[in-house]
Structures are given as C-alpha cells and as structure tokens.
Copies of this chain bind each other. A is one copy, B any other.
C-alpha cells in the first residue's frame, strides 16, 4: 500500500457559493474525506479504531490556499502521515489541480480518544509509524489561538445545536463549526474577499442542545479571530485570513 493517498473531488455547479467559488466548508469536508479514506485503506479508519473502543477526533487544522479561484475545478487531494507522537498524530494535505499545480496545503492534528472516558488513548501500538512519509509539508506552525481576548469585547451571537448539526458521535460536526463561524461575517465580506488562510483548534466537544456563544474580532487588516464558547468553556477558536478580490 502506497504511503501517500490521493483522491479526486469534482464539485458540481449547484454546490458552489454565490460567487461561483468552492464553499469553504465543502473544501473542509473534502479534506476530512481524504483523511478518512487514507486511514481506512491502511487499517486505521473509524471502524478499525472502534474495535479498540477508540475514535478519531480532530484537534487542529491549518489550511493555506494559493489559488482560491481554481478550487471549483476538479481537484486532487494528497494526504500522508507526517509524524506520530504518544497522543497526537500529524497529517498533511496537498491540494492540486489535475495538471499538478499546487492550489493549497494543510496540516491537521488528530487524537484517538476512548469512546467511554472521552480521554486520549495512546497511539504507540497501532502501527501508524509505518505510514510516515518524509515529504515536506510547508504549512506554517499553528498559532497560539488560545491567547486572543475577544470574549471581553463583543456581544455574542447565540447558536443552539440541532439534529442536523450532529455527527456520528452526537456532537457538533466539524463542518458545522466552520459554517457557524463564517456566518459571523456580512455577505459583503464574501463578495469582496477570498479566504486564503484558515486555522482552527477544537478544545472541547459540543453536544446536542448546548447553547453556544460565538464571537468575532478583527486582529489585523485582513485577519479575524472567531471563537465558540459554551458559557465559560472554550469549544473552538479559529483564525481566518482574507484577501481582497481585485
């Protein structure tokens, strides 16, 4: 079995956003899909993990896009294991056009948690190391997203988790976090800017019926921090980088 997996994604016109772009949550779902296929084909997919009463949870993901406008074409996503630690494993992605042009890259960090205790489980003996590839992954290291102070300065938008938001673990699914964060921006933002960077950290699990508070803060000209709280518990935080469309 090849260590690097590559998968193609074709987006039909009706799934594009109102500017004809690939929707950002859809691109995110393609990355998760590629990660899942890669893991499943190599014997450590969700069903394999379930045999040991564990499940994968995404801890961080950082994505950089170079040619946003070409993501609506058919694309290929390559993914590979970069590193394995005791609790975390690092998975990289490269997004290319079918002619090989690199359109974007990403790094993700995953933990395997025990389905009952919800505590991290050791990754020492599941054979992940066999798939490590020494292919460079140039995504910038994760920012310290924990240290923004946006909660102090803003009135939150409230959000209640509903049936359609749930994943197989009965928690808010990772795509819905992103939709909720993007919905904090006005439509004019999406008309005038492309997203070229997105970094998200998941801190705690968001469950059905939970009332969430969403915050947004501008930290530099084209950069925003968004965060999701459940009262005093930080659930997730993201840094979104925009680029003006000329």
Contacts and interface: CB of A to CB of B under 8 A. Distances in A.
Copies held by the complex: 2
Interface string A86-100: 000000000000000
A204 to B, nearest CB: 18
Q: Number of contact residues on A: which range applies?
A: 35 or more
Contacts of A138: none
A13 B46 contact: yes
Nearest to A189: B163
B32 A164 contact: no
A47 B16 CA distance: 12
A66 interface: no
Interface stretch (A116-124, A148-156, A179-187, A225-233): A179-187
B168 A18 contact: yes
Contact of A18 (B166, B182, B187): B166
Contacts of A183: 162-164
Given A163-B190, A185-B163, A190-B163, A168 B25 contact: no
Interface in A1-33: 12-18, 20, 23, 25, 29, 32-33
B36 A12 contact: yes
Contacts of A163: 17, 182-183, 185, 187, 190
A20 B169 CA distance: 9
Given A12-B32, A163-B183, 15 more contacts: A13-B168, A14-B36, A14-B167, A15-B33, A16-B168, A17-B168, A18-B166, A18-B168, A18-B169, A23-B164, A162-B183, A163-B185, A164-B183, A187-B208, A187-B209
Interface of A: 12-18, 20, 23, 25, 29, 32-33, 36-37, 40, 45-47, 56, 162-164, 166-170, 173, 179-180, 182-183, 185, 187, 190, 208-209
By Cβ-Cβ distance, the 3 closest A-B pairs, closest first, are A164-B179, A162-B183, A13-B46
